[in-house]
Structure 1
Amino acid sequence: MSRALDLLRLARPKDWLKNVFVLMPLPFALAGGASLGIGRLLLGIAGMCLVSSAVYAVNDVIDAEVDRANPRKRTRPVASGRLPAPWATSAAFVWLAAGLVLGGLSDQPWTLAIFGLYVAQNAVYSLGAKHVPLVDAFLLSAGFVLRVVLGCVLVGVAPSNWLLLCSSALALLLALGKRRGELLQAPGESQRRSLAGYNRSYLDQAMAIVAGITLFSYALYSVEAPLLVSGREFASLPFVVFGVLEYLRLAQVHDEGESPIELLLRSPRLILVGVGWVIASLWSVGVPELFV
């Protein structure tokens, strides 16, 4: 039983919440009359969860020695020694294979290509790029953007330039916030070499710039999206503005940006903003009227 629990921890199910990015194109696909296959969408998301778990497992094996010196990470299954590295590697291969099978069953050829790009991106990150300032943040954000593209593929819509720009900026903001949180850890708690290339002032300024790009691109996306109902173009914008500013407040005032997923789970404000954004987005594209 304990080994099964360690395998579950190795899979990092909390991080599956990152796949909410897959659902970003959904309201606009519904408004555009796309034939939404729930089964295909669920298969693609489940496949992405398993592929990402495989990546996390391999990364934990690679970083086991470093993680043992980190008070927060030394309790991870591989770093603590509870789960032998061969077990973790085997689990990674099983999860990867299962994820690819599910991706293939989604009946969208590009799904497997996106899974392959995601694995390749994380291989580059884990094998050295994570030690290079800025390159590490851009590669982290690329994983979120690939999820958005996956969502477009699964619901049958082409990703717009504004959607890609907005999601890229938002993902980069989260990545910079993560690095800022790691930078402020107590000495010895983080051994990332890339942190030597950052300081608090630089990250604060970079986050402000990227937050501005996020809001600007989302506002233009709202105006340019052809499927928005007239008069409702900016219905979801206040939720995005509030959400970005609230994230900056938590990350820069309360120094809580290290883990965006944990931050979301423990912040009632961000949860409410997310729910409000979904409702406003559906209303802005006239989805409720589609079912009347």
Structure 2
Amino acid sequence: MSSPQDDASKDELAGTEQPFVSHLMELRDRLIRALLAVGVAFGVLCLYPGPGGLFDLLAVPLVSHLPQGSSMIATNVLSPFLVPLKITLLAAFLVALPVVLYQVWAFVAPGLYSHEKRLVLPLVVSSTLLFFAGVAFCYFVVFAKVFTFIQSFAPKSITAAPDIEAYLGFVMNMFIAFGAAFEVPVVVVVLARMGLVTVEQLKQFRGYFIVIAFVIAAVITPPDIVSQLALAIPMCILYEVGIWASTAFARYSRAPDADPAENGQGPAA
């Protein structure tokens, strides 16, 4: 015969199993939809322009700066097949990224307050656009300057023939570095909105951030001054954008009953 304590314990746990299972089922459905979006994008890109066409497009900044008659090489037997497929999969993920982020947003949104939703959705959109902007800036601006600078130092006795796997690794590292660097405003806004720092502290930290930006650029970019400046200078500019945006977001996403002083805005006029 069960005791009253056992009955009370069962009553406390009676409503917890089903919501937890329903959350897991919703998470599963969201993941499936995100994977389907990536799969559809991958299939479309395989049809047009195709893995080979995507690799040729990605290789344009380097091939256009190679000496006349030079081309890229593959030192691995499977590289001509695997490397274009990897690039196609990466491109498919980038194309489907808005759908993936929407699934993340749809999963977490029901648990947020209305003022939190006003903060999260703009951050999701802006972080996506900023990442794309960083990748585009790297491809269209930085690569041309870096490869021109490198080829200008190459001895005449050396014929450049880069390996496609090494080039893919280089491109991936640069895309991630510049995409992540362009997320500086989002990081600044989140830190300020969480109350970890104030706008005044961010302004006072400006000089230190400039030093940090140049150190980061020196570590994660090739050892040439062009790519280092191309990464550090945008980071410094985006830090200023983040300071401005953190002030605007603090007002926009403040709870209805929150004190303006809690968001670093000071007392209302």
Q: Which TM-score band applies after superposition, normalised by the shorter structure?
A: 0.3 to 0.5
> Which structure has the greater CA radius of gyration?
2
TM-score with structure 1 setting the length: 0.30
